[in-house]
Structure 1
């Protein structure tokens, strides 16, 4: 009987840990770019993922849930996909990018997640820049509106400190579920112990 109890409690622990694996997943970022102060002409949003050196860990960036007045897309490197569904940027060739035509004057947003592989010592960087339609000038700032640096084994470094853009981590619904489940199990255990 004692072995059965140990087996069942071990199985319950394994199931609980497996159900909570999403808590340890890489964060999803919601990126918002505000062009309301930049007029209402055509422009190009340049989204790039590049390896910092040739020894970078493999990284895939997935962009989806695009909102805004988007036009034609031009992919480079190992980039693929469509604005209507999702776009993938991969640093396997050192660089991949999306040049996305937009109409200024509103908010543009998308969700961004990274899958960082193992095997490299150096990192990669995701950047978002804004150019006028003929690429003769940057809009908003001369530096990236959003930059997220990814280093293997370290936390992501997000640097959108400007008035035009923000990149915020999207809270995982599984975190709340895990907390409620844990509190429920704790209460159940205390109640059972009191008997």
Structure 2
């Protein structure tokens, strides 16, 4: 039982590593993944559509990967300019595109979004990923009157090969919630790794003194 906390932490780290490896298999590991959820109970209608599109006015190529879709119809009603994969969909900012999925409103619709692309020394072009709700005749929710979007994700490329890109969010409707996925996982992994290392060092020191390591949790 002496190193029980170490073993549990190591197992959790292994599970996180497996999750990140699975994300890499989806082709989105290099991007910053965010989890997007929409509370459709606020729309006031029983059903409609969730629309997504990705665009830019020029600049470097960027792609938006949408995966882990929940609360939508099994197949899209409209899919043009969008590539489908086993894990979800890929949008390009240099192609006119639209993805529209039917949905029964009243619950949570969610998906993961990852945007990545080439660097741009000028850094002046922003790519926009828009999410909207539609009932067949009108946009739903507290949408942006200029675009109809409930939320728009604005991706700015890195100014250099070694630099970092950025993702900004413009939310028009409070029904939309966004959580950064990989950052919390990586922070937890780093914290747990540091904890395991510290516990190992304490264990070795205790063993050298003939003492006993205190187990913090069973």
Normalization by structure 2: what TM-score? 0.64
Which segments of 5 or more consecutive residues in structure 2 lack a partner in the other structure? 1-16, 21-28, 159-164, 206-218
Structure 2 CA distance for aligned equivalents of residues 29 and 96 of structure 1:
21
Query: What's the secondary structure of 1:142's corresponding residue?
Result: coil
Structure 1 CA distance for aligned equivalents of residues 195 and 41 of structure 2:
45
Q: Quick check: 1:86 aligned with 2:88?
A: yes
Query: What's the secondary structure of 2:97's corresponding residue?
Result: strand
The correspondence of residues 1-195 of structure 1 with structure 2, limited to 5 A, is 26-51=31-56, 53-55=57-59, 57-70=60-73, 72-73=75-76, 74-77=78-81, 79-81=82-84, 85-93=87-95, 95-119=96-120, 121=123, 122-133=125-136, 136-143=137-144, 144-153=149-158, 154-170=165-181, 171-185=183-197
Which segments of 5 or more consecutive residues in structure 1 lack a partner in the other structure? 1-18
In the superposition, relative to structure 1, how do residues 187 and 102 fare at CA in structure 2: closer, same or farther (>3 Å)? closer
Question: CA deviation digits over 1:21-71, x for unaligned, max 9?
Answer: x8x9542111111111324433121101111x222x211111111111425
Structure 2 CA distance for aligned equivalents of residues 37 and 188 of structure 1:
51
Deviation at 1:176, TM superposition (A): 2.0
Q: Aligned-pair RMSD on alpha carbons?
A: 3.0
Deviation at 1:131, TM superposition (A): 1.2
Deviation at 1:106, TM superposition (A): 1.6
Quick check: 1:44–1:101 contact (8 Å CA) kept in 2?
yes
Deviation at 1:109, TM superposition (A): 0.5
Quick check: 1:146–1:166 contact (8 Å CA) kept in 2?
no
- The alignment of Structure 1 onto Structure 2 pairs a total of residues equal to 166
Deviation at 1:127, TM superposition (A): 0.7
